[in-house]
Chain A
Amino acid sequence: MAAWKRWKNLRVISQLIFLAAFFVLLWQARYPLEGPFPMDLFLRIDPLLGILLSLAARVLLLSFAVSLIIIVLSLVFGRAFCGWVCPMGATLDVADRLMHSHPKGTKVRTRWWKYAISAILLMAALLSYQGTWLLDPLVLLDRTATAVILPVFWFLIRGLFAATFNIPGIENPVYDFYSSIEGVILPLAQPVFLHSMTILLFFGGILALEKIFRRFWCRSLCPLGAFLGVTGHRAPFQRVVGPECSECGLCRENCKMGAIYKDYTHTNRADCILCLNCAVICPEQCTSYAFARLKHSPATFNINRRRLIEAAVVGVVAVPVIKATRTVGQTSARALRPPGALPEDQFLDRCIRCQECVQVCSSTGGCLQPSLLETGWEGFWSPIANMRVGYCEFQCNLCSKVCPSGAIHKITLDDKQIRRMGRAFFDRNRCIPYDRNEDCLVCEEHCPTPEKAILFDVKTVQAPDGSSRTVKFPYVRLDRCIGCGICEYICPLPGEAGVYCTRENEERWGQEPTEVITR
């Protein structure tokens, strides 16, 4: 029907707008952080995150209160969020189009998985392990966009420009244009994430599943989809089929979600995402969407009690399995947390690995990275500072400003400038003055504390030719060092630096700081 065609076009436009908005908001998370909209909005409208984080952290996280809108919408319109708003859904629709995936809408035996997954996550959260970060769709896309999509995009654009910088004739006008957008639209430095390949593989795997059938993720895996299916399965606004139905079966064949039952009349409202494809394709023009009172199917969730209990048990067992992999003393001392991070347990309760902090950091100091196992399995993909890739900029507290869950507490710049992330160590086997009796002192030059945390001793030493000369030997003054890592970043040695930062002496938010006295 032409009217439904228009509505479907509107749905596609809505998806594209939200997808674009998602990337614009994420791209806003950069120095100087002046965008008009909160860059973490898409994360904070996610009720699943709000609930599971609050459960795991035993704190009511009011920053997620805005997600009530999505719950209320689902009570009226079911899973319309998945079909009209979700940027992950839009990404999958684009992928489906490119991969020519077929709906294969009839029998979906994996439908119950997503409820099992949700049950596992819920039980784990009750027992204080927050695992939502792995599978929440908005987090998933945020993480992939930050660590893979945007860096690749910038690499291509910057590479295209760079290729022209050596072509005589057009070099200067192109460079003038490039300069005018650099730092405004283009990032100044190429973001580098050491482990982004793991994030790409995970996301790529989800895309590959689309080859099995369309929206495999949304039908079978998405915990947010499951949540909205539960809250929305009795939504009054729903698919309505008139008596003119000739049972041609086109709607069922073309349903993205496989949500239409064999009688073509009834719909699984826990899965229908209101994409309107059935209404558009119906040759009898008897399919429509309206507020209606219809008997809902009893098999809505496709999961029986036994499976649900099994899933809950898995959730209970998963907690000690994961927690036992982390012993604080054995995780890498080089894995520094951002300044203002909560104490490690609370930090992991709240950190959803969305990489907003990593994204904003890549526009300034650039030290934050999604980790691998540096902080144990429990800390997988959580943000750590790699001071060889970047450093923590003394004048910057942006990571604390973008964290949607408060895993990094909002700290003032004054606080950040005295808050210790860790401390610097000199590796006297590698540090140039100790290694070869030559001056270097790049670390002392860059040390940003108003009173230098890197001091030096002037000693007369022997030069290779036998003559004597004075050389400056750097050392750390512990009470001044905040572990910002610029010394490690800027150390001119290749590979391992002659000075490096560890978590020793770190000062997490809310922890009683240990006083450091140096005489």
Chain B
Amino acid sequence: MHQPITRREFLAGTASVAAGAMLLGPSAVLSTAPVPEVSVIKGGDPAAAVRRALELLGGMSRYVRPGNVVVVKPNIGWDTRIGYGADTNPDIVGAVIKMCFEAGAKKVKIFDNPCNEARRCYVSSGIEEIAKSQGADVSFVNDNRFDLVDFLEGVRLKSWLVYRDALPANRDVLINVPVLKQHSLPKTQNGNPGLSIGFKNLMGVMGGNRGEIHTHFEDKIVDFCSVIRPDLTIVDATNVLLRNGPRGGRLADVAKLDTVIAGADPVAVDAWGVRTFGYPPEDLDYLVEAHRRGMGELDLSKVVTRQERLD
């Protein structure tokens, strides 16, 4: 089903990056060009891959300034074991936290509003342990700390409860660290399976009766992310759940794609996630809607993609 990046594509991508870098010098990497940039790393251990992905984007210091309060939002939605593809790989979360502190972050906050009992998810996913060892503030979402946010431009979502710590007023940077996996809800074209990537992962900072987001999901999730927009999205596509998502539970349903995708443009990053899964991004309806509303680039030929394969 999924079409891995061919060697030709890989070499072409790498060559174009190298050529671009030679022509333009370091300014190409450091400039905040309007052209969206995405880095895609295959192979290597997940922590090294995410580090390399950020290096290719110009380093974490491009997104995190000294003294910043950073919210890192992994997927800790399910009480399943590491490697089953339901929660974000803990090594990736740990590496992201480490890079935030290296860039001078004052505080890194980790939380999710899980679907299973929260404490079980925090423990089973391995994220609580690694995040605490890296010095992040790991907390459980508290019902009393949701604020009602108005979505003035919202098509279907007019207001919703958002976790206080995730609101722009209470943090400087929001880093979304989703896991790529099959999810039956998002509408697709041509019979392709729906996917949970970056946009869907942001449901973890929502409060209230989140099931209601599922009706007319494509409109509502785009409404939501137009206000709660991550500054950086890092997709864990190392162990990808192909079926029975988003919870899974069988290793037979997990494909080892060993890929990490990173970038600031939430649409372009999710589009790369779809391509990594193996079908055209235009087939995932919410991405088309997000692109239509100007939230990011869906056409990957218009995205500067830096690909590398690690050993």
Contacts and interface: CB of A to CB of B under 8 A. Distances in A.
Given A32-B123, A441-B214, A450-B244, A393 B185 contact: no
Interface in A171-192: 175-176, 178-179, 182-183, 188-189
Contacts of A366: 117
- Scoring A179, A438, A449 by chain B CB atoms within 10 A of each residue's CB, the highest score goes to A179
Contacts of B116: 393-395
A376 to B, nearest CB: 31
Contacts of B210: 492
Nearest to B118: A188
A227 B184 CA distance: 61
Contacts of A189: 117
B139 A179 contact: yes
Given A446-B247, A450-B250, A492 B212 contact: yes
Interface in A419-477: 432, 438-442, 444-452, 456, 470, 472
Interface string B45-67: 00000000000000000000000
A162 B144 contact: yes
A227 B245 CA distance: 57
Contacts of A178: 142
B120 interface: yes
A183 B184 contact: no
A492 B140 contact: no
A456 B184 contact: yes
A432 B215 contact: yes
A165 interface: yes
B183 A445 contact: yes
A451 B244 contact: yes
B117 A183 contact: no
B145 A364 contact: no
A396 interface: yes
Nearest to A442: B211
B137 A179 contact: yes
Interface in B112-133: 115-120, 122-124
A492 B211 CA distance: 5
B248 A450 contact: yes
B309 interface: no
B272 interface: no
B236 interface: no
Interface residues of B, number: 36
B217 interface: yes
B246 interface: yes
B187 A439 contact: yes
Given A32-B123, A393-B116, A395-B79, A438 B215 contact: yes
Interface in A474-498: 490-492
A272 B55 CA distance: 79
A365 interface: yes
A31 interface: yes
A446 B120 CA distance: 15
A31 B117 contact: yes
Contact of B187 (A364, A452, A470): A470
A439 B214 contact: yes
Contacts of A166: 144
Contacts of A442: 211, 214
Contacts of B217: 439
A160 to B, nearest CB: 11
Given A165-B145, A364-B120, A447-B247, A490 B215 contact: no
B254 to A, nearest CB: 11
A131 B144 CA distance: 43
24 contacts: A31-B117, A31-B119, A32-B123, A175-B142, A182-B139, A182-B140, A183-B122, A189-B117, A364-B120, A365-B117, A393-B116, A393-B120, A395-B116, A395-B120, A439-B187, A445-B183, A445-B184, A449-B249, A450-B253, A451-B250, A452-B244, A470-B187, A472-B185, A491-B211
